[in-house]
């Protein structure tokens, strides 16, 4: 995988996904033992976040530093020449001169491919608008495998499946591994029909759509909840019409299939009640912690150090 880009799950070979899962487990072992080898000493990662981020940005930075590498970049374009009208391509060209690998997030769908087209160094997308968020889906899959295994399970993606880029990437990964999937959303937030058709074509697993959160919880082994993506709506009114439509609370979790776990890419707003945090089903903070070994694996593989 040395020198390759990770800009989407679409088109990513399954063997690369398997390799990332395998190296992530090794990285987890290093972290658990307290002895992490300096595989990326002397390397520099550019971290270019044109859009807000907490977990993606901080976990990539931590991952790079844990492996002995260094990080430069920006969080928000306030202090950069983007404010003078510099194009995305030119900003990326500069990072390409200064760093060994580029991690970027930008609000426009398709921006990750534009970055990869001009950079010689590996580009890793931290999300391109409502399109995809491949590294989040990889850490989600790593978490699902760790918690439930990947055989004979049903995973439900719930909430904003129209704009939620993590769900757009994860549905492709679930299809790649033949995992039965339930897509549960209010009507206006359904996953785009062309995407559903593409993933259905790509696998033998069942992919069902429903609007009922209760029925979904009764059938799923993993309930993957997402935030309504307020920033992607055309109007505040459209957002308000669907905001708060699904809330996972204690009663729902207690009525669910025994052993069901609740995941969420975070940040949550009000779609998971805080009372769920103390239940054994809650896995979203473990999931976020898994961002470190998985992103360590990605950086090491793309830089040829694993």
Catalytic residues: 55-56, 84, 105, 133
Q: Per-residue contact track with ligand NCD, 264 to 293, x per CB under 6 A?
A: -xxx--------------------------
Return all residues near 269 (Cβ < 8 A) that are at least 6 apart: 227, 228
- Per the CB < 8 A criterion, the answer to whether 290 and 62 are in contact is no
Cβ proximity to ligand NCD: between 54 and 206 the closer is: 54
In the region spanning residues 137 to 166, those forming contacts with ligand NCD, defined by CB under 6 A, are 165-166
55 part of the interface to ligand NCD, by CB under 6 A: yes
Q: Of the two residues 297 and 306, which places its CB atom closer to ligand NCD in the complex?
A: 297
* Nearer Cβ to ligand NCD (296/306): 296
Q: How far is CA 280 from CA 2, 224, 284, in A?
A: 39, 15, 11
In the set 43, 66, 227, 283, which binds ligand NCD (CB under 6 A)?
Answer: 227
Comparison of 116 and 263: residue with beta carbon closer to ligand NCD:
263
Three-class SS state of 175: helix
- Using CB under 6 A as the binding rule, whether residue 127 contacts ligand NCD is answered as yes
Structure tokens at 78: 């306030």
CB of 258 to ligand NCD, least distance (A): 28
CB of 164 to ligand NCD, least distance (A): 7
Q: What is the CB-side half-sphere exposure of residue 27 using CA atoms within 13 A?
A: 31
d(CA 212, CA 245): 11
Does 133 participate in binding ligand NCD (rule CB under 6 A)? yes
With 0-12 / 13-18 / 19 or more C-beta atoms within 10 angstroms meaning exposed / middle / buried, residue 267 is: exposed
Q: Which two tokens stand for residue 234?
A: 């055309």
Q: Binder to ligand NCD among 56, 169, 287, 290 (CB under 6 A)? A: 56
Q: E-strand spans in 216-279?
A: 222-225, 261-263
Largest CA distance in the chain: 55
Residue nearer to ligand NCD on the CB measure, 232 or 257: 232
Least Å distance between CB 255 and ligand NCD? 25
The footprint of ligand NCD (CB under 6 A) covers: 55-56, 127, 133, 136, 165-166, 227, 265-267
């Amino acid at each position: 995988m040395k020198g390759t880009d990770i800009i989407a799950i679409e088109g990513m070979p399954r063997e690369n996904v398997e390799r990332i899962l395998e190296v992530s487990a090794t990285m987890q072992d290093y972290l658990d033992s307290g002895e992490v080898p300096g595989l990326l000493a002397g390397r520099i990662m550019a971290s270019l976040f044109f859009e807000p981020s907490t977990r993606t940005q901080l976990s990539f930075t931590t991952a790079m530093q844990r492996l002995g590498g260094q990080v430069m970049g920006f969080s928000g374009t306030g202090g950069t020449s983007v404010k003078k009208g510099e194009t995305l391509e030119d900003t990326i060209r500069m990072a390409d001169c200064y760093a060994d690998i580029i991690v970027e997030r930008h609000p426009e769908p398709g921006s990750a491919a534009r970055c990869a087209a001009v950079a010689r160094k590996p580009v890793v997308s931290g999300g391109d608008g409502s399109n995809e968020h491949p590294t989040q889906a990889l850490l989600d899959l790593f978490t699902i495998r760790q918690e439930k295994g990947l055989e004979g399970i049903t995973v439900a993606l719930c909430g904003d499946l129209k704009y939620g880029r993590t769900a757009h990437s994860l549905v492709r990964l679930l299809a790649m591994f033949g995992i039965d999937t339930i897509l549960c959303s209010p009507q206006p937030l359904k996953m785009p029909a062309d995407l559903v058709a593409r993933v259905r074509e790509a696998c033998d697993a069942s992919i069902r759509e429903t609007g009922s959160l209760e029925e979904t919880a009764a059938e799923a082994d993993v309930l993957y909840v997402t935030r309504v993506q307020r920033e992607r709506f055309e109007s505040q009114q459209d957002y308000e019409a669907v905001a708060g439509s699904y809330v996972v609370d204690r009663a729902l979790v207690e009525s669910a299939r025994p052993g069901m776990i609740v995941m969420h890419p975070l940040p949550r707003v009000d779609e998971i009640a805080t009372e769920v945090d103390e239940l054994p089903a809650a896995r979203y903070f473990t999931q976020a912690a898994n961002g470190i070994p998985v992103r360590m694996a990605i950086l090491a593989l793309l830089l040829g150090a694993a």
